[in-house]
């Protein structure tokens, strides 16, 4: 499945005629109590080399044993991403690096646990997921030296607390077309992982990390051009910036008659640019082979069904539940992201107008206070507003009191003396104010848009003053416009 880019996003940031082709590799640490193959604790932080066990230190003679919970969480992720969950094996990826206690990483190569899925962005496009496989994290080196930079380090210190933490690597197809989509993808993926309890999704603690594969091509072309892999993209903000920088770099090269070379580049957040990694004399040869210390994972259909039955509603399902009941897509996405979609849905089910519900949920409710709000009272409030018994401004005030006191909206409105102003009553009031300010009204009628805007504010202000702020601003504007039309006809 391929995302259809809309014209206004294609050109965001690139010279006309070019489009970006973006695929993301997202690594997420799984929310297990222990590591992938070792019974050492999986926890962030801690004094160096305290979350260790002979197995994750790779001591001679130790053997890995798969954490069953990690498999279960990975299957949850696969199902949430609409993947095929299949028999898989662990393979060794061989390369020397001091962060890796065994000097190979246990990963999955030819046979991954989850393949061929997709994820729907809140804005609509469906992004293909090539695979979501399990692997173990590396430890961390701290580079000690004058500048703290890797090339002039005096030496490095290695901490294996993170070594062996279970990771899922989620590889998208190159279906993303803009930096905004890429950010939206990461945000949606994070939301899915958190919703299903598979990961805490904390980018700031490194439990969610993003590598971006970026290339560009002329709009309308279908070929995939040379891509660069951008590493070290550690915040949602830098995802967009790094991709945009890299895509522009490619376009500049092509337009100068050159071409990018396939390489791994690193995002330098401070400098706002990507840099080529150390050029390697020859391509890496990881010599993957099935890990003989581990046996295949072959989840039964029954186990997969059991896990599927425990999945909570996913963000896309929750958005669609609101949209199916008339909520606008953007508002539904906000309601879900604020975790207030349950309240919104209950209010709509109780008969409240979907758009008004979403407006309040998206704009007027503090998430941490909203749980005290009764859906039935909320629906009553929307009904009163829809019936014209409360203006939008009044409804907002009543809602705030409802959240604070838990009382029904009718009681609060009565106590505050809110009552719907009859529309003929309001028209009389507006006409009276115009008649008392005929100079201004004349200038209003004769003025350009700018002048008219200022004077409109003046008249609305007078009406509000007269009604102690209880008039419906929209209704006042409508009356002003109607009178304008008559007076200038």
Partner 1 sequence: MAPEPDDPVLTRQDVAKVAKLALLDLSDEELDRFTPQLAAVLEHARDLQSFDLTGVPPTHHPFPLVNVFRPDEVELADDVREEALAAAPAVEDHQFRVPPVLGESA
Partner 2 sequence: MTNPVTLPDGTPVTARAGLASAVEVAAAVRSGSTSATELLEAHLARIEAADGALHAFNHVTTERARADAAAVDAAVAAGQDPGPLAGVTVALKDNLCTRGVPTTCSSRILEGWTPPYDATVVERLRAAGAVVVGKTNLDEFAMGSSTENSAFGPTRNPHDPARVPGGSSGGSAAAVAAGLTAVALGSDTGGSIRQPAALCGVVGVKPTYGLVSRYGLVAFASSLDQIGPFAPTVADAALVLETIAGHDRRDSTSIPQPAPALSAQLGDGVEGLRIGIVSELSGQGIEGFEPEVLARLHEAADALTAAGAKLDTVSVPSAVAGLSAYYMIAPAEASSNLARYDGVRYGLRREGPNTAAMMAASRTAGFGPEVKRRIMLGTYALSAGYADAFYGRAQRIRTLMISEFARVYESFDLLLCPTSPCVAFEFGAKADPLTMYLNDVCTIPSNLTGQPAISVPFGTDATGLPVGVQVMAPLLGEAAMFRAAAALEGSR
| Residues lying near partner 1 in the complex (CB under 8 A) | 32-34, 39-41, 47-50, 52-54, 57, 59, 65-71, 87, 89, 95-99, 138, 141-143, 145, 150-151, 153-160, 231, 264, 266, 277-278, 280, 284-287, 290, 292, 294-299
Residue number with CB closer to partner 2 (280 or 486): 280
User: Of partner 2, partner 1, none, which one does residue 34 interact with (CB within 5 to 8 Å by kind)?
Assistant: partner 1
Tell me if 285 contacts partner 2 by CB under 8 A: yes
What minimum distance in Å lies between the beta carbon of 248 and partner 1? 23
Cα 311 from Cα 32, distance rounded (Å): 17
Which residues are bridge partners to 135 per DSSP? 167
Number of chain residues interacting with partner 2 (CB under 8 A)? 28
Per-residue binding string, partner 2, 50-69, x by CB under 8 A, is: ----x--xxxxxxxxxx---
**Whose CA is closest to 293, among 13, 38, 5, 116?**
38
Binding piece for partner 2, criterion CB under 8 A, among 98-106, 112-120, 170-178, 428-436: 98-106
The secondary structure element, H or E, covering residue 304 is: helix 301-309
Burial class (CB in 10 A: 0-12, 13-18, 19+), 105: buried
Of the candidate residues 92, 133, 183, 209, the single one contacting partner 2 (CB under 8 A) = 92
Among candidates 166, 167, 199, which has minimal Cα distance to 39?
Answer: 166
Piece in contact with partner 2 (CB under 8 A), picked from 79-87, 91-99, 325-333, 462-470: 91-99
Does 86 contact partner 2 by CB under 8 A?
no
Nearest Cα neighbor of 123 from 346, 316, 318 is 316
Show contacts with partner 2 in window 351-410 (CB under 8 A). none
Residue 126, judged by CB atoms within 10 A of its CB (0-12, 13-18, 19+), counts as: middle
Separation in Å, CA 364 to CA 275, 374, 397: 44, 15, 9
Q: Whole-number minimum distance, CB 295 to partner 1, in Å?
A: 5
Taking the least distance from each CB to partner 1, the nearer of 303 and 458 is: 303
Task: Pick the closest to residue 112 from 84, 79, 73, 93 (CA basis).
Answer: 84
Instruction: Based on the shown chain and the rule CB under 8 A, indicate whether residue 294 belongs to the binding site for partner 2.
Output: yes
Between the alpha carbon of residue 241 and those of residues 111, 269, 270, the distances in Å are: 34, 9, 11
User: Does 154 interact with partner 2 (rule: CB under 8 A)?
Assistant: no
Q: Identify which of residues 290 and 328 has a Cβ nearer to partner 1 in the complex.
A: 290
Conformational region of residue 292, where left means phi above 0, alpha means psi within -120 to 50, and beta covers everything else: alpha
Closer residue to partner 1 (CB): 19 or 246: 246
Task: Tell the smallest beta-carbon distance from residue 140 to partner 2 (Å).
Answer: 14
292 near partner 2, judged by CB under 8 A: yes
Nearer of residues 62 and 456 to partner 1, judged by Cβ = 62
157 near partner 2, rule: CB under 8 A: no
Dihedral, 356, 362, 367, 370 alpha carbons, nearest 10: 0
d(CA 90, CA 107): 6
Least CB distance to partner 1 at residue 45 (A): 14
Q: Are 305 and 281 in contact (CB under 8 A)?
A: no
Q: Does 104 bind partner 2 (CB under 8 A)?
A: yes
Beta bridge partners of 274: 267
101 with 56: CB under 8 angstroms?
yes
Query: Quick check: 260 binds partner 2 (CB under 8 A)?
Result: no
Choose between 219 and 294: whose C-beta lies nearer to partner 1: 294
Q: How far is CA 43 from CA 82, 195, 293, 376, in A?
A: 29, 20, 25, 42
Q: Which of 205, 293, 415, 487 binds partner 2 (CB under 8 A)?
A: 293
Which of 13, 101, 240, 409 is close enough to bind partner 2 by CB under 8 A? Answer: 101
CA atoms within 13 A on the CB side of 72: 14
- Secondary structure class of 446 (helix, strand, coil): helix
- Work out how close the CB of 28 gets to partner 1 at its nearest, in angstroms, rounded to a whole number: 17
Query: Which of 48/342 has CB closer to partner 1?
Result: 48
CB of residue 129 to partner 1, shortest distance in Å: 23
Among partner 1, partner 2, none, the one that 102 touches (CB under a kind-dependent 5 to 8 A) is: partner 2
Does 328 bind partner 2 (CB under 8 A)? Our answer is: no
262 binds, among partner 2, partner 1, none (CB under 5 to 8 A by kind): none
Q: Are 31 and 196 in contact (CB under 8 A)?
A: no
Q: Give the nearest distance from C-beta 155 to partner 1 in angstroms.
A: 6
The candidate with the shortest Cα–Cα distance to 363, out of 399, 391, 394, is 399
Nearer Cβ to partner 2, position 220 or 292?
292
Residue 138 or 359: the one with the smaller Cβ distance to partner 1 is: 138
**Distances in whole angstroms, Cα of residue 239 to Cα of each of 227, 243, 400, 475:** 16, 6, 37, 44
Q: Within 10 Å of residue 41's Cβ, how many Cβ atoms?
A: 16
Binding to partner 2 (CB under 8 A) within 295-314 occurs at: 295
Q: Under the criterion CB under 8 A, does residue 257 sit at the interface with partner 2?
A: no
Residue ranges of alpha helices (H) inside 153-300 are: 179-195, 236-255
Q: Which residues bind partner 2 (CB under 8 A)?
A: 54, 57-66, 92, 94, 96, 98, 101-104, 156, 158, 285, 287, 289, 292-295
């Amino acid at each position: 499945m391929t995302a259809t880019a809309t014209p206004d996003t294609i050109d965001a940031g690139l010279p006309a005629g070019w489009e970006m082709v973006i695929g993301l590799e997202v690594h997420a640490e799984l929310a297990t109590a222990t590591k992938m193959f070792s019974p050492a604790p999986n926890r962030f932080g801690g004094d160096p080399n305290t979350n260790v066990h002979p197995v994750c230190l790779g001591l001679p003679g130790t053997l890995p044993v798969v954490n069953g919970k990690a498999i279960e969480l990975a299957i949850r992720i696969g199902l949430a991403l609409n993947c095929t969950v299949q028999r898989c094996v662990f393979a060794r990826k061989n390369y020397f690096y001091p962060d890796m206690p065994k000097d190979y990483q246990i990963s999955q190569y030819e046979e991954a646990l989850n393949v061929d899925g997709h994820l729907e962005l809140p804005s609509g496009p469906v992004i293909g997921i090539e695979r979501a496989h399990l692997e173990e994290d590396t430890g961390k080196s701290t580079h000690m030296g004058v500048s703290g930079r890797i090339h002039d380090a005096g030496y490095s210190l290695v901490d294996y607390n993170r070594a062996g933490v279970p990771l899922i690597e989620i590889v998208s197809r190159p279906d993303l077309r803009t930096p905004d989509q890429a950010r939206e993808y990461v945000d949606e993926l994070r939301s899915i992982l958190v919703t299903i309890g598979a990961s805490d999704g904390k980018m700031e603690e490194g439990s969610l990390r993003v590598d971006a594969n970026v290339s560009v091509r002329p709009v309308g072309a279908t070929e995939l051009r040379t891509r660069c892999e951008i590493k070290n993209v550690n915040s949602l903000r830098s995802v967009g910036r790094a991709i945009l920088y890299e895509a522009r770099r490619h376009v500049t090269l092509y337009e100068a008659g050159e071409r990018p070379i396939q390489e791994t580049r690193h995002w330098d957040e401070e400098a706002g640019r990507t840099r080529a990694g150390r050029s390697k004399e020859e391509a890496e040869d990881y010599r993957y082979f099935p890990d003989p210390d581990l046996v295949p994972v072959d989840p039964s259909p029954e186990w997969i069904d059991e896990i599927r039955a425990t999945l909570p509603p996913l963000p896309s399902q929750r958005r669609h539940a609101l949209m199916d009941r008339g909520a606008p897509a953007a508002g539904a996405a906000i309601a879900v992201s604020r975790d207030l979609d349950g309240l919104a849905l209950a209010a709509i089910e109780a008969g409240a107008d979907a758009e008004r519900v979403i407006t309040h949920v998206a704009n007027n409710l503090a998430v941490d206070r909203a749980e005290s709000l009764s859906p039935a009272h909320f629906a009553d409030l929307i009904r009163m507003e829809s019936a014209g018994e409360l203006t939008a401004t009044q409804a907002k005030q009543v809602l705030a009191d409802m959240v604070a006191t838990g009382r029904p909206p009718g009681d609060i409105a009565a106590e505050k003396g809110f009552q719907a102003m009859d529309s003929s009553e309001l028209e009389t009031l507006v006409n009276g104010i115009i008649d008392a300010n005929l100079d201004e009204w004349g200038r209003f009628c004769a003025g350009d848009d700018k002048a008219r805007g200022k004077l409109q504010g003046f008249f609305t202000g007078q009406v509000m003053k007269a009604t102690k702020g209880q008039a419906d601003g929209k209704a006042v504007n409508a009356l002003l416009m109607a009178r304008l039309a008559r007076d200038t006809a």
